[in-house]
Amino acid sequence: MTKIIIKSDNKKSWKLEAEENNTILNLILKTSFNMPYSCMQGKCGICSCRVKTGKDLLLSEDGSYVESDVIKTCKTYVKYQSDRFVELETIF
Ligand code: FES
């Protein structure tokens, strides 16, 4: 199962496991990580993160691969089956 590592600007990090059909933001909200978010619809951009590693494991809502280094976690999924990891860094 693909692992997700998310780091905040205060250098704390959390490790999560990808879940099929669950956005990165939904996974983060299950933890104690204080993730900023608002619209949950990909409009405000507050949930954005910079992708440091594993961009090729990220999928957008329509199932296509993500091309940008900055993602909206409320609209991004992680490929469920992989022995690799995705590393993200918060922006806000
Ligand atoms: S919460 Fe608004 S873009 Fe993700």
State the Cα–Cα distance between residues 29 and 7, nearest whole angstrom.
14
Beta strands 58-60; 13-17: pairing state: unpaired
Q: What does the pLDDT profile of the chain (92 residues) look like in tens digits? A: 999 999 988 888 999 999 999 999 999 999 988 899 999 999 999 999 999 999 999 999 999 999 999 999 999 999 999 999 999 999 98
What's residue 9's pLDDT? 82
> For residue 17, what are its two tokens?
């496991």
Q: Give the number of the atom of ligand 1 that is nearest the alpha carbon of residue 42.
A: 3
Q: What is the mean pLDDT of the chain?
A: 95
Q: Give the number of the atom of ligand 1 that is nearest the alpha carbon of residue 73.
A: 4
> For the chain, how are helix, strand and coil distributed in percent, rounded to 5?
10, 35, 55
Q: Is the CB of 72 under 6 A from ligand 1?
A: yes
What's residue 23's pLDDT? 97
Q: Give the number of the atom of ligand 1 that is nearest the alpha carbon of residue 47.
A: 4
What's residue 65's pLDDT? 95
What's residue 34's pLDDT? 87
Q: Is the CB of 39 under 6 A from ligand 1?
A: yes
Q: Which domains does the chain have, with CATH numbers?
A: 3-90 (3.10.20.30)
What's residue 90's pLDDT? 94
